[in-house]
Each structure stands twice: as structure tokens, then as C-alpha cells.
Amino acid sequence: MKISSLTTDDAALAELGRRIAEARLARQMTQAQFAQAAGVSKRTVERLEGGASTQSANLVRCLRALDKLDGLDRLLPQSPPNPIDLLERHGKTRQRARPDPDEGAGAGRPWAWGDEQ
């Protein structure tokens, strides 16, 4: 099944669970072995594969155990920098604050509180 914008939430979760189960079985892992490799409970694996909602951290752990975590980067790629921002920054160097030579010990005078005359 192809997941699209017309797919219901429940159907999308069920398809995601089916795909995770398929990937687990392709690695010839039981749910218990998979749960241990992912660092989650067997019940979490059952819920995930059954299409029930689960915490996103558990999904990440399971995808990592299947070597599929890079799929999240393709799912939501990092946005490129805004071209306008790049043009505004082009050629400008970062300015650093410089001490004022007329103030304090930098002028060759001893330091004072400022209320002495």
C-alpha cells in the first residue's frame, strides 16, 4: 500500500507497522530479539507492528536497530539556507567588540572607581 495524503492516520500507522515487521522478518529476528536490539519492550514492538501509536523515541530506536534511521533524513530533509540571508551576509565579516582606548587602564591611568577627582 502506498501512503499518501489521502491515507487515514490509522491506515498509515498500520502500513508503517507492517513494513517494520517485514524488515524485522527479513533480518530473521523474533519480536523479542528485535525488542532487545532496539532497547524497547516486546510489547512496544507488538504495538508498533500492530499499527498502534507509540512514542517517537521508540520508533527511532526500532529504526536504528533495523539500520533504517537514515530514512528519517529523507523523510524530512534539512532546509537549505535562505538565498536572501546568504546575499545579505555575503562579504560581511563578523565585527568584534574592541576595548575603548580612552577608558580604564588602557589609557595609562591607574584604575579608579570613578567617584574620585
In a domain, 64, yes or no: yes
Question: What is the per-residue pLDDT for 39?
Answer: 96
Residue 35, number of CB atoms within 10 A of its CB: 23
pLDDT in tens, 66-110: 999 988 888 888 888 788 877 777 766 666 666 665 554 455 667
Contact 15, 57 (CB under 8 A): no
User: Is 117 or 45 the better-scoring residue by pLDDT?
Assistant: 45
116: cell is 574620585
> Residue 46 belongs to what domain range?
30-78
In a domain, 10, yes or no: no
Contact 62, 45 (CB under 8 A): yes
7: cell is 491515507
User: Is 51 or 97 the better-scoring residue by pLDDT?
Assistant: 51
- Tally of domains within the chain: 1
In a domain, 12, yes or no: no
Q: What percent of the chain has pLDDT over 90?
A: 54
In a domain, 24, yes or no: no
In a domain, 111, yes or no: no
